């Protein structure tokens, strides 16, 4: 019976981790993002996958708005030779965006943990 509980626990942990982690991408905190943006490194492309209305109400200077529902049709606007930093409101949509970008062949994709909710 103990083995069964261990297997169930492993399956639950796997599903929780797969929901919050983007396979093939990295995760940074908003404080790490602030430090990174101070460098003004041209090798980075910052994108916000929230809706245009959300973006208009509250945005970070330097981020480009490419809503998640338009992402796959907007790949020609996203450079493959830059390091992508992706943010949304909470981290959920950006996690999904990161997965889609990695599957589309983008080699360096980073999700901002906690999204705009953690940006202060």
Q: Where are the beta strands (DSSP E) in the chain?
A: 26-28, 44-48, 64-65, 83-87, 109-112
Q: Identify which of 84, 107, 87 has the alpha carbon closest to the alpha carbon of residue 95.
A: 87
Dist. CA 78–CA 66, nearest whole Å = 9
Cβ(33)–Cβ(48) below 8 Å = no
Report, as residue numbers or ranges, the catalytic residues. Answer: 88
Both tokens assigned to 9: 């626990």
């Amino acid at each position: 019976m103990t083995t069964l509980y261990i297997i169930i626990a492993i399956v639950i942990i796997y599903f929780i981790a797969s929901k919050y982690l983007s396979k093939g991408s990295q995760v940074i905190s908003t404080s790490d993002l602030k430090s990174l943006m101070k460098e003004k490194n041209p090798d980075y492309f910052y994108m916000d996958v929230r809706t245009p209305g959300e973006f208009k109400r509250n945005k970070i200077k330097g981020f480009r708005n490419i809503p998640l529902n338009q992402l796959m049709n907007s790949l020609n606007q996203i450079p493959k030779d830059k390091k992508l930093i992706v943010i949304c409101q909470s981290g959920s949509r950006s996690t999904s965006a990161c997965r889609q970008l990695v599957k589309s062949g983008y080699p360096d994709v980073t999700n901002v943990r906690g999204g705009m909710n953690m940006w202060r």
